[in-house]
Amino acid sequence: MSPRRCIILNPRSGRGRAATLRPVLERELHAAGLACDIVPTTAPGDAVRLARLLCQQGYDQLYVMGGDGTINEVLTGIFSAAGDLDHSPLPEPPAALGFIPIGTGNDFVRSLSGVRANHIASAVQRMHTAAPRRIDVGRVRVTSDTASGPSTQTYLFLNNLALGIDAIVADKVGTLHLLDGLPAYLAASLLALLDFTPHSLRLHADAVQLERPLLLASVTNGQYQGGGFRLTPAAVLDDGLLDLCLVEPMRTDQALRALPHAVRGTHSRLPQVQLLQAHQIHVSFSVPHTVVTDGEVISRTAVQVHAENMASALRIIG
């Protein structure tokens, strides 16, 4: 029996490229003889609702035509359709997740062999040739300061959790409307370096404990973030582990010289850089902090985060 497929299309993704490429997608689907519905999002966060609704309607393959943020929304939707995000293990989602990457960074799909960003024909071909497989999912509980007191929320991430200047960069890149991809993230990095002050944090990563200021603190499932920075080159999507890239404070000129190393994934040779792996990570901030999952801000006043790897929780087509 053929799977019921639906594409959730974010027309704003890739600075609007996703909307302009819809006719190309429809032609490629017709040429391939693939039956597949297409549903556009109408607002930020709408992909969560659509994914949940489509799962309830019996679709068993959902494809995301958008960027990392839209992928995260659909991820959240298919798991919330199955049950409580706080349940351990995570509930089995009713649909597998596929990718037609048309985003600003397209960082998650860089860790998938053979998946090409901004290439509709190859994405459609993979819809009927790629075999389903399982990968890990990150889950994070974030406690934030609010006007009514501490509030804890649970989120999922497929690619990365940003806790340092990397979170500020992800926040700034959305304001750079004339740039795209790695150039946008490089420009945002330069802007962030001008006004970011590293504050002390306390981190527990399995048996490793540390307390000190950090310039960058990235928790990942995939290898890439920020439009192509290969911060955790040893990360594997299905190894049951979270990877960490920790960078101690450095002068602006040192940070600028480190950027090419971070793009190539050779930054581990720098004395300020530490790469770790862990099943669970707990971080306490000395001051409220911005936290980002898969390129989207989830808190600007976080005081604690607890992240864990949910091994083999998701079926993907890719």
pLDDT score, position 318: 78
Say if residue 105's pLDDT is above 80.
Answer: yes
When pLDDT is cut at 50, 70 and 90, the band that residue 15 belongs to is confident
Looking at domain 138-312, its CATH class is mainly beta
Amino acid at 92: E
As a whole number of angstroms, the distance between CA 305 and CA 78 comes to 23
Say if residue 173's pLDDT is above 90.
Answer: no
Mean pLDDT, range 25-30, rounded to an integer: 97
Average pLDDT of the chain is 95
pLDDT score, position 184: 85
Say if residue 305's pLDDT is above 90.
Answer: yes
Query: What b-and-e string marks burial along 243-256, b requiring 16 or more CB atoms within 10 Å of the CB?
Result: bbbbbebbeeeebe
Say if residue 180's pLDDT is above 80.
Answer: no
Say if residue 170's pLDDT is above 90.
Answer: no
Listed in order, strand segments (DSSP E) in 170-295 are 200-205, 208-213, 216-220, 242-247, 273-278, 280-293
Say if residue 114's pLDDT is above 90.
Answer: no
As a whole number of angstroms, the distance between CA 29 and CA 290 comes to 40
Domain residue extents for the chain: 5-130, 138-312
DSSP 267: G
When pLDDT is cut at 50, 70 and 90, the band that residue 224 belongs to is very high
Provide the 10 A C-beta neighbour count for residue 18: 26
Mean pLDDT, range 289-310, rounded to an integer: 97
As a whole number of angstroms, the distance between CA 168 and CA 175 comes to 12
CATH of span 5-130: 3.40.50.10330
